[in-house]
Structure 1
Amino acid sequence: MIKAVIIDDEINAQNLLEKTLDRHFPNKFNIVEKCNSVDSGVLAIKNYEPELVFLDIQMPEKSGFELFKYFDVIKFEVIFTTAHSKFAIKAIKRSALDYLLKPINHVDLFESIKKFETRNRGSFAQKRLSLLLENLNVNDQNVNKIAFPTVEGFELIHSNQILYCKAESNYCCIKKIEGTTKTATKTLKYVEEILPATSFKRIHKTYVINLNYVVRYNKANKEVELTNGEKLPVSFRKEEEFINAILQNN
């Protein structure tokens, strides 16, 4: 059984999550403790050493993010729970961590648990949470490292190393400036949302490009040329928005 701790200041939310886990994952979880604050959660984690922690973000006395400062080494995986769809979600996504929006439904929960079960263990949890804390302390244009989920685990890539991203069905190919390509197990829409909006722009249903590597735009052919010589299409619907973004970026 998976040893887990639930940390949430709302008793009803604690009980609902526990009941949902019991109903849809029978005999899979052992909820060793339910806590209503960061402080009690820290004690429970140190006492029981759980494999997984369900952590509410917004609590009265301390934010859920403050929990990590009490641990030198993170040995547990985290699934964040929040009623606020925009609250720090981009930073969480950029760190390849999972989150659930309240009220939690069993479909989203199933996906998060499936990720947890297939995810590589070891130092990955530590790296993702360290990255999260970095991302929480910078604004959008200063974001450097982003953790992209892959089949093997995740790939850390600096945003300024990305030339463009291309949709490949439900996956996304990330082309780096040195010529290599990495495949993220997420859609282009997901990847677009976690890239710095000041530098990256959707130019087509298939492409998001880094504006810093644009060399020229051919208005007649509706093609943008990048520093590596590649030419990518710009859709009619995206053209005006793309041109405005180029002018603002320069």
Structure 2
Amino acid sequence: MIKAVIIDDEINAQNLLEKTLNRSFPNRFNIVEKCNSVDAGVRAIKEYEPELVFLDIQMPEKNGFELFRYFDVVNFEVIFTTAYNQFAIKAIKRSALDYLLKPINTLELSEAVKKFENKNKGSFAQKRLTLLLENLNVNDQQVNKIAFPTVEGFELIHSNQILYCKAESNYCSIKRIDGYTKMATKTLKYVEEVLPENSFLRIHKTYVINLNYVVRYHKANKEVELTNGEKLPVSFRKEEEFIHALIQNH
């Protein structure tokens, strides 16, 4: 059984999540403690050493992110639960962590639990949570590293090392400025959402590029040339937005 702790200041939300878990995953979860604050959650985690923590973000006194400041080593996985907060969600995505929007959808919960079960237990948890805290403490223009889910686990890449991203069916290839390419197990749409908005732009249904590495735009051919010599297509409906972004960026 999966030993889990639920941390949420709303008692109804705690009970609903527990019931949903028991109904969707019979005899798979052992909810050892339900806590209504970060402090209570810290005590429960240290006492029971759970494998998985369901953590609410919006709570009085201390928000969910503050929980990690009480642990030198994080050896449990986390699934965040939140009603809103787009900035927090982007930081969570950039750190390759899972989150559920309230009210929690049963299918999304099942998907998050399956991903947890498929992960290499304990591996990457510390790195991803450390990265999350870094991403929460910088603005969009200063994002350093993004954790991209891959078949092997996660690949941490500096955003300024990314030349462009290309849609590959339900996956996305990430081309770095050194020529190295990595396949992320996410769609181009997902990857586009976690990239810094000031530097990256969708120029075509297949491509998102880093505007900092544009050399020139061939208007007649509707092609953008990058610093490595590659030429990528710019779609007709994206051309005006691309030219405007290029002027703004430079």
SS state at 2:86 partner: coil
Q: Could you tell me whether the CA contact under 8 Å between 1:84 and 1:101 is conserved in 2? A: yes
Looking at structure 1, the residues matched to 122 and 4 of structure 2 have their Cα atoms a distance apart, in angstroms, of 17
Q: Name the CA distance, whole Å, in 2 between partners of 1:13 and 1:87.
A: 22
Gaps of 5+ in 2: none
Amino acid paired to 1:183: M
> Could you say which residue in structure 1 is the equivalent of 2:139?
139
Q: Which residues in structure 2 correspond to 1:159-170 (within 5 Å)? A: 159-170=159-170
Deviation at 1:202, TM superposition (A): 0.4
Give 3-state SS (helix, strand or coil) of 2:244's partner.
helix
Per-residue deviation, residues 92-123 of structure 1 (Å, max 9, x unmatched): 00000000000101100011011101112334
User: 2: CA distance between counterparts of 1:205 and 1:224?
Assistant: 14
Q: Secondary structure at the match of 2:19?
A: helix
- Structure 2 counterparts to residues 92-131 of structure 1, below 5 A: 92-131=92-131
> For residue 27 of structure 1, what is the aligned residue in structure 2?
27
Give the AA of the match of 1:91. A
After the TM superposition, which residues 1-250 of structure 1 pair with which residues of structure 2 at under 5 Å, given as runs? 1-84=1-84, 86-250=86-250
Q: Is the 8 A contact 1:203 1:235 kept in 2?
A: yes
- After the TM superposition, which of the residue ranges 80-89 and 2-11 deviates more from structure 2? 80-89
Alignment partners' CA distance in 2, 1:249 and 1:86: 24
Q: Which amino acid aligns with 1:157?
A: I
Q: Quick one: distance in 2 between partners of 1:170 and 1:209? A: 18
Instruction: State the secondary structure of the residue aligned to 2:109.
Output: helix
Partners of 2:50 and 2:20 in 1: CA distance: 19
- The answer to whether the 8 A contact 1:85-1:101 is kept is no
After TM superposition, the score normalised by the length of structure 1 is 0.99
Counterpart AA for 2:168 = E
2:79–2:100 CA contact under 8 A, matched in 1: yes
CA distance in 2: counterparts of 1:61 and 1:219, whole angstroms: 55
For 1:141 and 1:61, locate their aligned partners in 2 and report how far apart those are by CA, in whole Å: 29
Segments of 4+ moved more than 2 angstroms: none
TM-score, normalised on structure 2?
0.99
Do the aligned residues in 1 keep the contact of 2:76 with 2:122 (CA within 8 Å)?
A: no
Distance 2:223 2:204 in 1: 11
Question: Structure 2: how far apart are the matches of 1:245 and 1:46?
Answer: 49
**In structure 2, what residue type is equivalent to 1:67?**
L
The secondary structure found in structure 2 opposite 1:108 is: helix
Compute the RMSD of aligned alpha carbons. Answer: 0.7
